[in-house]
Amino acid sequence: MRWLLIRHGESEGNREWRLQGQREYPLTDRGRCQAQALARRLAGRQVAAVYSSPLRRAWETAAAMAEALGLTVQALPAVQEYDFGELSGLTWWEIHERAPAVAAAVVSRGAEYPNYPGEEGREAFRQRVCGALWDLRERHHGETIAVVTHAGAIAVFLMEVLGRPYRRPIPFVVENGSITVVETLGQRWPGAPPAVLVSLNDVCHLSAGVEAPSEAYDFEKTGEG
């Protein structure tokens, strides 16, 4: 089977440089344009199902795609973004003022993730996201499915697919409105991995007018949100 892992379009939280976590933020006008570009890209493809994080920014993106595909969005709560606890929803500058040690750790080159007060826990996050995505193999053998989720969820699953520990730095970028493709191999040869990364952060469908603004500090580009 094949997963199309899609990061939601730009949200108000992205634009305001917030550590969104599981807080709710709608798409911006740019984000809605990205969602429509995704819909046009996938229209006519053989996609068996569209799953989505229930968070609004993902659900709005998924709804545009599902309409183009003639499908109904199915909620997949386990692929929600990481819960950052007490710092969820704060801007980068607010975190820098209220929790300078966390801010310093975010921009450091340390391998360990910062300790966010009241956070979910990295291992719990890895288990819920990866467990849910692997479970979809049982429902969709031989099919292509779309999963609209968040950069953190995509990053943790890709690290598992690539056989890397879930530690920093995350060696890739997952942009708003991007498509990342992972495909199972089955038993093509002895010792074959369960899945491979086929393509990463595909934004060919986005025009210059709907690309994410590069000047914004984005926690999600560092695997932080």
Contacts of 173 (CB under 8 A, 6+ apart): 201, 221
Q: Identify whether the C-beta of residue 177 lies closer than 8 Å to the C-beta of residue 7.
A: yes
Give the whole-angstrom CA distance, residue 149 versus residue 57: 9
Element of type H or E holding 144? strand 144-149
The catalytic residue among 81, 175, 220, 224 is: 81
Is residue 8 among the annotated active site residues? yes
Is residue 141 among the annotated active site residues? no
What are the strands of the beta sheet with 2-7, ordered from one edge? 73-75, 49-52, 144-149, 2-7, 179-184, 195-202
Cα–chain-centroid distance for residue 123?
A: 17
The catalytic residue among 8, 10, 60, 175 is: 8
Using N-to-C axis directions, what is the helix angle for 122-139 and 151-161, rounded to 10°? Answer: 80
Which pair of structure tokens corresponds to residue 84?
């950052």
- Which sequence positions are flagged as catalytic? 8, 81
